[in-house]
Amino acid sequence: MLDLSIALVQTNVVWEDKPTNLNHFTQILKSITNAHLVVLPEMFNTGFSMNPSKNGESMDGETIQWMKQTAKQHNFELAGSLIIEEQGHYYNRFVKVSPDGAIEHYDKRHAFSMAGEDTVFTKGSQRVIWKTNGWKICPQVCYDLRFPVWSRNDSQYDILLYTANWPTKRINHWLALAKARAIENQCYVAAVNRIGVDGEGIEYNGNSIICDFDGKSLAHHVDDDMVLMTTLSYSDLQDRRKQFDVLSDRDDFRINPTS
């Protein structure tokens, strides 16, 4: 199995301004070379907006087309969440696009009710596993980080991948939970967060992080624009699981995805 080079793009997102945001990311992504997977923040084209009727688009809309063109141009997989409208429902959808145009997606399961996300977005009902360069990746979005049952490693995935708009005032939770998810699931965690202040006056200070299966930070940055990039070792992960086989002793249970 090949090692995986992953890049997290930590930056500001301009409130509900798609052209400005897509142009901004276009410029940033020009500097990234030799990455297998590049990950953008939650709702990277609008900010964490509760106005889906204004900002939603289809799966063949302008942002998806931009993702396809960008992934093809730079020959990496590109992922990030955006507002998608489908059959009269709006989703906070984490989308991954490959250079050949193939698309995979995950719909955010845990809507952040304290911001009213549950009143305007439809919750996802399926946990999914993506494959990149042979690695199995479990994608999740922001608030999902707080719910360990939903991320439980019962499928031997290799990476938990989070995209987020996680506020500064609760950033200690973000860091503690990212490391906890890595340790309890014996996997890598890669979690990208934004910086700046959004249209609701909420402040974000980044703290994007990549940590290994023991919760050790491999890359971490606070409070300004940064592309965090590191290479994850598949052999190190497998060696650790063999040496200290926690997953074999995990509890068996089923998740009811429709509840």
Catalytic sites, residue numbers: 42, 108, 142
d(CA 117, CA 31): 34
Q: Helix or strand or coil: residue 143?
A: helix
The answer to whether the CB of 9 falls within 8 A of the CB of 141 is no
The answer to whether the CB of 76 falls within 8 A of the CB of 94 is no
User: Residue 246: how many CA atoms within 13 Å on its side-chain side?
Assistant: 12
Query: Both tokens of residue 115?
Result: 């911001």
Q: Identity (one letter) of the amino acid at 61?
A: G
| Cβ-based neighbours of 49, under 8 Å, separated by 6 or more | 15, 16, 43, 55, 83, 199
d(CA 97, CA 201): 31
| Cβ-based neighbours of 104, under 8 Å, separated by 6 or more | 95, 96, 128, 130
Residues in a beta bridge with 190: 161, 210
The count of residues in the chain is: 259
Residue pointed to by tokens 């650790």? 240
The torsion angles phi and psi of 28, rounded to 5 degrees, stand at -65, -45
Task: Work out the number of other CB atoms within 10 angstroms of the CB of residue 152.
Answer: 18
